[in-house]
Amino acid sequence: MARYVFITGGVVSSLGKGLASAALGALLQARGFSVRLRKLDPYLNVDPGTMSPFEHGEVFVTDDGAETDLDLGHYERFTGVAARRTDSISSGRIYQTVLEKERRGDYLGKTIQVIPHVTNEIKDFLAIGEDEVDFQLCEIGGTVGDIEGLPFFEAIRQFAQDRPPRQCIFVHLTLLPYLAASGELKTKPTQHSVRELRAIGIAPDVLVCRSEQPIPEREREKIALFCNVRKEAVIAAYDLKSIYEAPLAYHREGLDQAVLDAFGIHPAPRPNLAKWHAVMDALENPEGEVRVAVVGKYTQLEDAYKSIAEALTHGGIANRVRVRAEWVNSEIFEREDPAPHLEGFDAILVPGGFGERGTEGMIAAARFAREHKVPYLGICLGMQLAVIEGSRNVARLPDAGSEEFDHEAGARRFTPVVYHLKEWVQGNRVVERRPDDAKGGTMRLGAYTALLQPGSLVADVYGATEIEERHRHRYEVDTAYREKLEGVGLCFSGMSPDGRLPEIVEWKDHPWFIGVQFHPELKSKPFDPHPLFAGFIRAAVESARLV
């Protein structure tokens, strides 16, 4: 039966609970334990799938088609354990499940209350797969004291109470603010946060304290005394040059040892951190640098493209170069010539997105990359817009566009080379969708197989002719135009097994121009960079050498 680590946060949000959880998972793995990480989010959305990227950052998609919080991306990148639908839950989904049971009569007419019905549902979720791994790490979203998080805190309190001693521990992440005027680190916010946690029945076993300054021994002793934890369990969390330094930094501070001590695991297996030292060596000792323009519509918030930013870094690790990704708002190119903005870059990436806003600027970026032989990677919408660009400017279809934009286009009507997908095969069943369906969870989601054309660039990049990648989209490139487009050099080099859905396109007369319908960034890891990003950055290195 798994041991449980519950990670909570206090004082302020965005302290890095997700990163701390992921790093702890990596450290436990380094000591030979198996782990699974989960996220419990207090918001009332059923999942993040319908939330704006400006509101919540990117949506991370699992192999089994769940739309989840971006922290699950951190979990995968640090542990290599593929996330599942059962690794993410929100208040919205918990309440939805409880209300569905009530409507069916499952509660036999009882009055439905937060305790025990909502908390029992959360506890049932926590128990899923508890015999599969040595440790379950469960991060509670939000901050202690938030009213919407109270059912989750009560549920984990009950869950720990129901289990044998030393099967559940609590790690609490807090802030130690530094007051420059007095030259002091202040421990009072941490004391108040722990008091708030203890007031609801949870006593932390380990404190992780975010600080911009070293924590003096006197302050550690004070925190340990007033928060009732061992001094060795007061762990400093400093700002890092790279998030991939986190496992090594937390190990130096003793986080993994403090957690094992709290469980009474003695002697603790020695950790093997060789792969994390190798990652940091590649990051700290690059042999060059490349500049990559990410031309998108959500560039004001980098978290909207979090997995892409990290996958570019992984591509740099694979090639031992520093990748300087620069975020370019595509709407600029709807008013200005893209050339002055893009000429200094070694590669161009156009990511996914929804809606017409900014798409003409992305099309202009794809055209610049094609005409100037700049390495190009188009992801999801970035592939579709590359096809539209080629249709307009090479295949002589000047009105080429997407059904997605027709309702926003006013008087203009597009020739739809990209259409709304109404039916597709998932496993052994046919999935059907209509444009007016509810938005949540209705896209083509999760892992699908693609067959690659032997001898194509993408087959060479993967070193394979059959792959499996994760999808999140409603629209597809129309194969009705395949013959016309291939006649002008746009090769459909990856297709679904039934030959109906284009998965990958590439320009034959271009050194490196690939568009993919799926999201390869979701499967990239620092110690196992995705082949497409490794190849993309390799092409950027070659492009830089030619300048």
Render 501-529 in DSSP notation, one character per residue: SEEEEEETTSSSEEEESS-GGGG-BTTB-
Query: CA of 167: how far to CAs of 1, 36, 39, 262, in Å?
Result: 9, 15, 19, 10
Active site residue 380: yes
Do residues 329 and 451 both lie within one domain? Answer: yes
pLDDT of residue 411: 47
Tell how far CA 503 is from the center of its chain: 21
Place of tokens 């080629």: 390
Question: CA 472, CA 516: separation in Å to the nearest integer?
Answer: 12
- Domain containing 146 — which CATH number? 3.40.50.300
Do residues 243 and 173 both lie within one domain? Answer: yes
End-of-domain residue from the set 279, 308, 340:
279
457 close to 509: Cβ distance less than 8 angstroms: no
Do residues 182 and 301 both lie within one domain? Answer: no
Question: CA 113, CA 136: separation in Å to the nearest integer?
Answer: 27
Do residues 54 and 194 both lie within one domain? Answer: yes
Mean pLDDT of 126-144: 95
Helices (DSSP H) in 50-203: which residue ranges? Answer: 53-56, 71-79, 91-104, 119-127, 150-162, 188-199
Mean pLDDT of 58-70: 91
Q: What angle do CA 512, 515, 520 make, to 5 degrees?
A: 100
210: alpha, beta or left, given left = phi > 0 and alpha = psi -120 to 50? beta
Do residues 228 and 304 both lie within one domain? Answer: no
Do residues 273 and 311 both lie within one domain? Answer: no
Active site residue 519: yes
Q: Which of 150-164, 226-240, 393-407 has the lowest mean pLDDT?
A: 393-407
Is the per-residue pLDDT at 133 higher than 80? yes
Do residues 298 and 260 both lie within one domain? Answer: no
Task: Output phi, psi for 429, to 5 deg.
Answer: -135, 155
Q: What average pLDDT is seen over the chain? A: 92
pLDDT of residue 423: 62
* Cα Rg, the chain, nearest whole Å: 25
Q: Is the dihedral of CA 294, 298, 299, 304 positive or negative?
A: negative
Q: What's the pLDDT tens digit per position in 493-502? A: 999 999 999 9
Is the per-residue pLDDT at 448 higher than 50? yes
Count other C-beta atoms under 10 Å from residue 484's C-beta: 15
Catalytic residue among 251, 471, 510, 519: 519
Largest CA distance in the chain: 75
Pick the closest to residue 135 from 23, 37, 40 (CA basis): 37
Do residues 48 and 97 both lie within one domain? Answer: yes
Mean pLDDT of 52-79: 88
Q: Which domain holds residue 128?
A: 3-279
pLDDT of residue 546: 62
Is the per-residue pLDDT at 83 higher than 90? yes
Q: Report the chain's terminal Cα–Cα distance, integer Å.
A: 58
225-231: long-range contacts, CB 8 A cutoff, minimum separation 24 = 226/187, 226/191, 226/194, 227/190, 227/191, 227/194, 228/194, 228/198, 228/203, 229/204, 229/205, 230/258, 230/261
Do residues 302 and 269 both lie within one domain? Answer: no
Q: What's the pLDDT tens digit per position in 189-245? A: 999 999 999 999 999 999 999 999 999 999 999 999 999 999 999 999 999 999 999
517: Cβ–Cβ under 8 A, 6 or more apart, which residues? 380, 383, 384, 471, 473, 476, 477, 501, 502, 503, 504
Question: CA 17, CA 28: separation in Å to the nearest integer?
Answer: 16
Predicted confidence band of residue 46 (pLDDT cuts 50, 70, 90): confident
pLDDT of residue 437: 62
Predicted confidence band of residue 55 (pLDDT cuts 50, 70, 90): confident
Question: CA 394, CA 414: separation in Å to the nearest integer?
Answer: 17
469 close to 519: Cβ distance less than 8 angstroms: yes
Question: Number of structural domains, the chain?
Answer: 2
Pick the closest to residue 235 from 220, 247, 213, 218 (CA basis): 220
Active site residue 217: no
Do residues 402 and 259 both lie within one domain? Answer: no
Q: What's the pLDDT tens digit per position in 287-345? A: 999 999 999 988 777 788 999 999 999 999 999 999 999 999 999 998 889 999 999 99
150: alpha, beta or left, given left = phi > 0 and alpha = psi -120 to 50? alpha
End-of-domain residue from the set 258, 279, 300:
279
Do residues 364 and 241 both lie within one domain? Answer: no
Catalytic residue among 380, 403, 476, 491: 380
Mean pLDDT of 492-511: 95
Do residues 135 and 213 both lie within one domain? Answer: yes
End-of-domain residue from the set 247, 279, 311:
279
Q: What's the pLDDT tens digit per position in 246-281? A: 999 999 999 999 999 999 999 989 999 999 999 999
Is the per-residue pLDDT at 286 higher than 50? yes
> Do strands 502-507 and 490-495 pair parallel, antiparallel, or not at all (unpaired)?
antiparallel
Residue with the bigger pLDDT between 207 and 58: it is 207
- Domain containing 524 — which CATH number? 3.40.50.880
